[in-house]
A and B are shown apart, each in its own frame.
Chain A
């Protein structure tokens, strides 16, 4: 019988290079397999967890990372299919459930392709080897006289061929070949990798048939909305539900306790007052009609305007020295005739993915099942097991399509809420956040204030650089008293500052958290990218030099910085993207009146990006006209998808620069919805030109995030170029520039 799991755990561990066998223990792959690949017939060949071939030739590939618009389902599948020599028209892609058998599934940090490309290629290669050996046996010839091509195995001596589907029975009986025998294809032989592949989900996306979390429907399910305290971690004092109960469709109203996560892990849930109804709108209306008195708690006095003042005062005084500083900054400043200083500010930001946080859960005796748009289903699963006191193996987490994630859907708080509600009402339930909930109760991208001081020598080169950074830490969401940015956070553009400056000093400044702090597309790089590139532009102006040339000079001699990862920083690659961007932007050309051009470079998620932006300023209002971006992300797995990502990153970065600001008064977020937390729209959208560096022999690096941090500084530098006005505090909206 063919439906036998061919892979044992040791092979699996080997293939994935998992360092800890611990995370795989207790998982019986063979018995679980049927659960995640729905086989209509038994005659299938499943050489490993990621590939299944049926007799009719259909190939089902499993995407272990979540699809949130970054095109990962298509990208991972293309890597498998390429090595398998599959015909793309037979390929279907299925989303994996959250399970340790798939290795780490956390879809964050622009690392899915970087870490999964090779293992996925191996999965395809193994399947191909087994199909080849099945065919060779049939023909009674040596395996090396056979090759795979476009869904057939071909006998190269006779030109006979056998369809993949017809080899399923025989291949399934063969042992899995040793990993050492796997031969991966050469770059020049790639059929899908490095080409332009369209999303595998286009049909669904254009017909409204893709199932997002919010579209999940379970028989007899209820819908829920939760009123949460406007002040972070405030609690319910009392509530009157009489008006809410009058709303037709409302069935139950009760208090939901806050679930506090244990130190160091998980996200918990805020708690509040829950309204259960038989449709979403009644739940929303019921919530609207609640009268609740809150205990606001410790964060009631939080005020972002005051906080910004406090941080600004602090960065103007000495902070904590960060290791990695070099030379002597203060004596160089004392000697220099030309020093400049500047203070920059980025407000709190929120992700606002088009699909609001939501989750559907069904709590049953010894069995919890959830359906949700999750970037990190394994953490959600572990978190559910923790809070509901059960083993993870009793928890099934189904990952739906994500209507955008941007870091918000890495946090499983909304899933924990759904499970708690389902447990309480004893029925399946979907909790849906309103847009106001999303904007007012998020895990926010932290605000920052940074102070920079630099000096120029007589030749106009930067002789010293001092940078003080105050940014509330993400760690604060997991551990109290985390009042300084962590080393990992600072390593996003601050400690690993690429400039070749002899005297360099970085200081970290205290910044407490009064909101839940999370990560948002490109994270701390938003701050470092803005501060570094704005200040370099200011220095270039002071030195009376061209910004592009000034940047190139600052990057200095060619150097390779090893660091602790497998991806050393190479200054020549950063210079190369900058030169290319200057070229495609026709840098130095004469611009129409009222136009200006600015540039920014940034290295993040191991990728190199340079972006030039042209703006026009008419009647005091800024319009972004053109964006030119070059990325070097190593082996470019799916070029059109990478372009789409970079175009999207430009728009996302524009939203940050033009509009992004979450402000807090008396502990409560002041913004509500898209009318006061605005987004880039079609009328604002510039022309975007993306160039991808040919680096097929370099390992693949991040794509989803690295295009974001360059946008705000490039825009502000362009505004300076056009008007002489320097914007040091985001967003432009606050300066009446949009």
Chain B
């Protein structure tokens, strides 16, 4: 049952059953704890990762699905994620911070697909991610800000 996973460009060999959700493989077996557990049933987005660039709730995908694909987590880095991080900093977005890994990954996926999202695009892309602390208006502003930072840098 030994499998090889590629996470943030690094390869890991894990020995787990096929149906273990990717979330728990990433957290408990690989040991990358930035990806969070919030609900386990695709309802909160805390466990969001990118798999071959597609936004995925890792709590609801078996590890077997990730084999041979590139998995990207909050421990990784990408151009859009870096602009988002800066914007998150500028806007002092997080409160408890727990949901923010998932929020940043979802926002990265949004910017990867849409260079200049409107408020409606943000509503559509970010509504799977719950923030119990209620930082939504800051997240919204920060996504716009990241676009601004990126445009300035070019």
Contacts and interface: CB of A to CB of B under 8 A. Distances in A.
A212 B98 CA distance: 8
Given A201-B97, A354-B96, A435-B40, A206 B133 contact: no
A209 B34 contact: yes
A651 B134 contact: yes
A93 to B, nearest CB: 14
Contacts of B50: none
A235 B33 CA distance: 34
B120 to A, nearest CB: 9
Nearest to A435: B39
Interface in B1-24: 16-17, 20-21, 23-24
A644 B36 contact: no
Contact of B135 (A284, A356, A435, A644): A644
Contact of A674 (B24, B43, B126): B43
B80 interface: no
Contacts of B138: 644, 647
Give the size category of A's interface with B: 35 or more
A647 B37 contact: no
A354 B131 contact: yes
Given A354-B46, A403-B97, A681-B127, A279 B39 contact: no
Interface string B89-110: 1001011111111001000000
Contacts of A402: 96
A401 B137 contact: no
Contact of B27 (A280, A651, A673): A280
A679 B33 contact: no
Contacts of B94: 69, 199, 201-202, 205-206
B127 A682 contact: yes
A556 interface: no
A479 interface: no
Contacts of B137: 647, 685-688
Instruction: Tell me whether chain A's interface is mostly helix, strand or loop, or mixed.
Output: loop
B82 to A, nearest CB: 10
Contact of B37 (A356, A405, A651, A673): A356
A70 interface: yes
A216 to B, nearest CB: 9
B75 A207 contact: yes
B145 interface: no
Contacts of A355: 36, 38, 96, 98
Given A69-B133, A215-B33, A404-B132, A354 B139 contact: no
A634 B135 CA distance: 24
Contacts of B38: 354-356, 435, 674
Interface string A392-404: 0000000001111
A673 B41 contact: yes
Contact of B129 (A214, A640, A682, A687): A682
Interface residues of B, number: 57
B61 interface: no
A205 B100 contact: yes
Interface in A195-223: 196, 198-199, 201-202, 204-212, 214-215, 217, 223
B44 interface: yes
A196 B133 CA distance: 19
A208 B101 contact: yes
B92 A674 contact: no
B127 A640 contact: no
A352 to B, nearest CB: 6
Nearest to B94: A205
A279 B24 contact: yes
Interface string A632-666: 00000000110011011111100000000000000
B95 A71 contact: yes
A338 B117 CA distance: 54
A475 B21 CA distance: 41
B136 A281 contact: no
B20 A682 contact: no
A353 interface: yes
B136 A401 contact: no
B35 interface: yes
A202 B135 CA distance: 14
A539 to B, nearest CB: 31
Contact of B39 (A67, A647, A674, A680): A674
B71 to A, nearest CB: 14
B130 A681 contact: yes
B134 A647 contact: yes
A248 interface: yes
Per CB-CB distance, the 8 closest pairs between chain A and chain B, nearest first, are A208-B34, A651-B134, A69-B96, A403-B98, A69-B95, A205-B97, A208-B74, A648-B134
11 contacts: A202-B89, A206-B88, A206-B94, A206-B100, A209-B34, A211-B33, A279-B29, A435-B38, A647-B138, A674-B43, A679-B132
